[in-house]
Structure 1
Amino acid sequence: MAYTDLSAPAMPPPPGETSNFTNPPNGNATGLGALLLMLIISTIFICIRMYANAFITKKFWVEDVLVLLGYLTFVLTVWTAFMFVQYPGFFVHTWNVTVGDEIAALYYVFLFGVFYSIALAFVKMSIPLEWCRIFVPPGTWSTSYFWWGAMAVVALQAMFLPVIVVLLNVQCLPHAAIWDIRLLPDATCIPLPTLQKLSASVHLVTDVAILVLPQKIIFDLQLSLRKKAGLAVVFGLGALGVVCSVFRLIDTIMLANEPDVFFYTGPVELWCTAEVTCGLFVACAPTLPRVIKDTPLLRRVFRASTRRGATSSDGPTAIRTTGGKRGGGTDTLGTKLDYTKMDEENEFHMINITKSDSTEVLREAAKPGITRTTDITVHHSASPDHNDPRPWSHV
C-alpha cells in the first residue's frame, strides 16, 4: 500500500463509522491526569532521596546516580507521552487519525519505547544494589543467597538494556521507516509488538524477583514483629510494579492482535509510565524513615500522629506528662511525674512513687491477696547513625 495522501485516514473506518479528524472522541483528560500525577509522585520521591543523600548521609553511591539518571530519562518518557496526547490522542481510534498524524505519532511512540527502556533499566539496577548495601554485611556476599539473587537481577537488566535499545532502533531498515510509513514498502521490519512483549516479559520476571528477594531476610532479622511487618510492606512495594507489568503485558498482547493500533497504544504507554513510577517509589521508599527522623518538622508531625494513636484508647491508668526539661506534670491518677530530657531525640521519664487518692482507696478496700502489680520494661536505643543505610535503624 502506498501512503501518498497524508490527509487520508490511517485505516479504513468500520461499517457505520465515519472518520472524524477534527475532534475525535478521546480519553485525553484521563491520560493527561494520569501522566501528571505519576510525574508529580516521582518528582516528590526523587527529591526526598536526593535531600537525604545531600544533607543527611552526605554520600552518593552508585545506586543514587542510577536512580537520578532513571528519573531524568523518565521525564523524557513522560514528555513523549504528552506528545502522544497531541498526535493522535489517548484512546483515539485509528480511523480518526490521518496518515500525516500517524507518522508523527509513530515517531513519538518510538522515542517513548527507547526512553522508557533506559529509565526502567536504570531504576531496576539501583534497587538491588541498594538492598545489598542494606541487607548484606561486608565480607559475607559470597555466602548470601540474597546477594547472588540481587546481582542476577542487576546483570539481567544491564545486559537487556543495550539489546532492547538496539532492537528498537533497528526494528526497521532503513531507520526512518520505523515511523515514516511511506517507506514501508521498501523496508525490512521487526513487528513492534514482538519487541514490546519481549520487554514486558523480562521486566515482569525482574519485578517478581525484586518483590520476593527481601522477604525472607527481613523476617530473619532480630526485630519486633511490628518492625518486621513494616519493613516487609516497604520492601514489598515491588508488588505495585508486578501489577503494572502484568497489565502492560496483557495490553501489549491485545495491541499485537488488534488492527486499531492507536486505540491500544495509549493504555500500553500508561502502564509503562506507571511501572517506572512504581520503580522510583520502591527505590526511594527506604530513605523515608531517615528523612523523617532527621527533619525536625516531619519528626514532630510523625511523633504527634503516633502519640495520638497510642493515647486514644488508653485507660484511666495512662501516664501523660507535661512540663519543661525537668519536673512538672502529673498523671491521671494525680501522681507527680518527673523526667529528664537527655538530648533532642530522647526523653527518659522517671515517676516518683507517692501516695495518691486512688491508691489510698485501693488500700482501704483491698481484700487479702495481690491487689495490683506493675510490669516495667526498659528500652534503650542509641542515637542513629546517619550513614547507616538500614531503614529499620531510623524507625
Structure 2
Amino acid sequence: MPNLDPSYLDAPAIPAPAGHVSDFEHPVTDTQQGGIHQLAYFAIILCGALAALSSLFRIASRIMKKPRHIGIEDFLLVAALGLYSGFLYLCYEIALFPGFLVHEWNIRLRDTVDFSWRLHLASNFYGLTLLCLKLAILIDWLHLFNPRMQRNTVFWTIHVLLIMNTIYYISAFFLDRFRCSPIEKTWNPLYVGGSCPIDANALNIVSSLLNLISDFIILLLPQWIIWRLNLTKAKKLGASLLFVIGIFATACGIARMVYSIETLYSKDYTYIYTTVGLWSLGELTSGFLVIGVPSIPKVYRSLYSQPDSILHTMATRLRGTRTADSGGVAGRAHHVESGSGSANLPSWFTPRPSSQSRDMWSITRDDGYGLLPDQHGRAAYVEAYPDPASSVELPEYAIIRETRVQISSQPRLYSDGSIKWQDPK
C-alpha cells in the first residue's frame, strides 16, 4: 500500500448519498443502529449446527451399516465440512466488523482492505465447499439410484454433472484467485498499478448463473427417478419429500444471483456482498441437509433396534406391560422377530410382517413383489430379486435390496408329534 494521506484513508469508503450522513462510530443500516451483528451471529450458529448435525447423521449411518461402508462421498463430505468451517469463521470476522448489511459510506476507506481480504477468502472457501458437497451428493445418488452401475440415463446424467461441476468450480477458483496481476490487487482496493483483465462482478454473475443451473438439475434428478419407480403414491411422496430440501438451496442460489447483479449498478459493496454472504450460508447449509437428512431414518432404526439403546428402552417403557403380558401367537411372533429364542420354534411358525408405516428406506420382502416393473411398464411379480450373475435383466430404475440368509439348522417332525432340530445334510 502506498503512503497515502491519513485524512484520505479516514474518509468514507464511498460518498454518502443525498439525505444520508456517514457515521463511523455507529454504522446505520436500513433496520437498526450499529450494524446487524445479531442476525449474523444467529445465522452462523444455526447454519453451522445444522451442517454439523447433518454430517454426523450421515457418517453415523455409514458406520452403523452392516458391513460398514465408508465411500469417497463420505470423505468428500468431511472435506466439505472442514472448508465450511473456514467459511463460517470468515463470516464471523466480518460480523464482528464492520457487520452485515452495513452501507459502505459508514466505514472508513482504510477498513475496506481487511473487509475485501476476508471477502476474497470467503469466496474461495465457498466455491471449494460447494464443489465437495455437490460431488458427494452426486456420487451418493449414483450408488443409491443405480447400485449396479447400469449404463442408463441416470448413470450418464450423474457422470456428466460430476465432470461439469469439477471443471467449473476448479476453473472458477483459479480465475477468481488470479484474475488480477499482481495477486494483491485482487483483494486490495487501495493498490496502485497492476491490472485486472477479468471483471469480478461479471465473474460473480456468471458463477451464480451456472451454479443455479447446477442446483436446479440436482433438485429435479431424484424426483424424476423416484416418480418412475413402481411404488405406491404414498411411498413416492414420502421418498420425494426427503429430497425437496434442494428447493431451499435453489431459492438461495436465485437470491444470490439477484444480489450479484446489483453490483453492476451499485458501489455499496459492503451491503450487497454481506447480503450475498447470508444467502451463501443458506445455500451451503442446504447442501449438507440434502445429503444428511435421508440418513436420519437409518440412524433412528439402527439405534432403536439395539436392546440396550436409549430409544429402545424408552419405547419399551412406553409400551408398559403390554409386551410382557401379550402371550400366545403375538408374543411368540415378537420373540422371533427380536432374534432370540428362534431355535425353539418350528420352521412353519413365521411371524406375519408388521403393518406399521414404512418409508422408502424400509423396503422389505413384501415390497419386493411389486417393485420391479417389466419391459411394458407393468408390475412384474417376482418371488425374489435376481442374482447378479443370472440372466434376468433388471429394469432401468429400481431400488434393490439384497438379503442373504444362512440356515444353520432345520426342524424334523416325528410321528409322535415332537419336533427336533438337526443340522442340514
Show the counterpart of 1:85. 95
Pick one of 104, 115, 120 that aligns with 2:114: 104
Q: Could you tell me how far 1:300 is from its partner in structure 2?
A: 4.7
Closer, same or farther: CA 338–284 of 1 in aligned 2, 3 Å: closer
Q: What is the one-letter code of the residue matched to 2:147? A: P
Q: What is the one-letter code of the residue matched to 1:52? A: S
Matched, 1:227 2:230: no
String of CA shifts for 1:263-310, please: whole Å, max 9, x gaps.
111110111111111011101122222111101258559979xx99xx
Structure 1, unmatched stretches of 5+, are 309-319, 329-335, 347-376, 384-389
Show the counterpart of 2:80. 70
Show the counterpart of 2:124. 114
Closer, same or farther: CA 35–175 of 1 in aligned 2, 3 Å: same
Equivalent pair of 2:180/2:196 in contact (CA under 8 Å)? yes
String of CA shifts for 1:193-217, please: whole Å, max 9, x gaps.
2121121111111111111112232
SS in 2 for 1:340: helix
2-side partners of 1:302 and 1:236: how far apart? Answer: 31
Show the counterpart of 1:56. 65
1:192-207 matches, cutoff 5 A:
192-207=200-215
Equivalent pair of 2:64/2:302 in contact (CA under 8 Å)? no
Q: Could you tell me how far 1:95 is from its partner in structure 2?
A: 0.8
Q: Could you tell me how far 1:340 is from its partner in structure 2?
A: 2.8
Closer, same or farther: CA 139–120 of 1 in aligned 2, 3 Å: closer
Closer, same or farther: CA 8–145 of 1 in aligned 2, 3 Å: same
Pick one of 338, 354, 358 that aligns with 1:344: 338
Q: Could you tell me how far 1:9 is from its partner in structure 2?
A: 1.2
Q: Could you tell me how far 1:56 is from its partner in structure 2?
A: 3.0
Closer, same or farther: CA 119–128 of 1 in aligned 2, 3 Å: same
SS in 2 for 1:259: coil
Q: What is the one-letter code of the residue matched to 2:10? A: S
1:1-395 matches, cutoff 5 A:
4=5, 5-25=8-28, 26-57=35-66, 58-140=68-150, 142=151, 144-296=152-304, 300=312, 322-324=322-324, 327=327, 339-341=332-334, 342-344=336-338, 381=364
Equivalent pair of 1:293/1:299 in contact (CA under 8 Å)? no
String of CA shifts for 1:13-46, please: whole Å, max 9, x gaps.
2233222111212112112211211011101111
Equivalent pair of 2:47/2:281 in contact (CA under 8 Å)? yes
Equivalent pair of 2:204/2:260 in contact (CA under 8 Å)? yes
Closer, same or farther: CA 392–99 of 1 in aligned 2, 3 Å: farther
Q: What is the one-letter code of the residue matched to 2:333? A: T
SS in 2 for 1:235: coil
Equivalent pair of 1:63/1:130 in contact (CA under 8 Å)? yes
SS in 1 for 2:270: helix
Equivalent pair of 1:87/1:101 in contact (CA under 8 Å)? no
Q: What is the one-letter code of the residue matched to 2:217? A: A
Larger deviation, residues 153-162 vs 110-119:
153-162
Identity of aligned residues (%): 22
Q: What is the one-letter code of the residue matched to 2:288? A: L
Q: What is the one-letter code of the residue matched to 2:125? A: F
Larger deviation, residues 14-23 vs 73-82:
14-23
Closer, same or farther: CA 272–324 of 1 in aligned 2, 3 Å: same
Q: Could you tell me how far 1:152 is from its partner in structure 2?
A: 1.5
SS in 2 for 1:256: coil
What is the total number of aligned residue pairs between the two structures?
336
Q: What is the one-letter code of the residue matched to 1:27? A: I
Equivalent pair of 1:211/1:235 in contact (CA under 8 Å)? yes
Q: What is the one-letter code of the residue matched to 2:207? A: S
Closer, same or farther: CA 210–345 of 1 in aligned 2, 3 Å: farther
Q: CA RMSD in A?
A: 3.1
Equivalent pair of 1:326/1:340 in contact (CA under 8 Å)? no
Equivalent pair of 1:325/1:340 in contact (CA under 8 Å)? no
String of CA shifts for 1:217-255, please: whole Å, max 9, x gaps.
212323332221111111232112111111111111113
Closer, same or farther: CA 85–233 of 1 in aligned 2, 3 Å: same
2-side partners of 1:133 and 1:115: how far apart? Answer: 27
1-side partners of 2:338 and 2:353: how far apart? Answer: 19
Closer, same or farther: CA 244–300 of 1 in aligned 2, 3 Å: farther
TM-score if structure 1 supplies the norm length? 0.77
Structure 2, unmatched stretches of 5+, are 29-34, 341-351, 356-363, 367-397, 402-425
Larger deviation, residues 103-112 vs 286-295:
286-295
1-side partners of 2:53 and 2:262: how far apart? Answer: 33
Equivalent pair of 1:327/1:340 in contact (CA under 8 Å)? no
Equivalent pair of 1:77/1:112 in contact (CA under 8 Å)? yes
Q: Could you tell me how far 1:257 is from its partner in structure 2?
A: 1.7
2-side partners of 1:221 and 1:298: how far apart? Answer: 36
2-side partners of 1:148 and 1:125: how far apart? Answer: 15
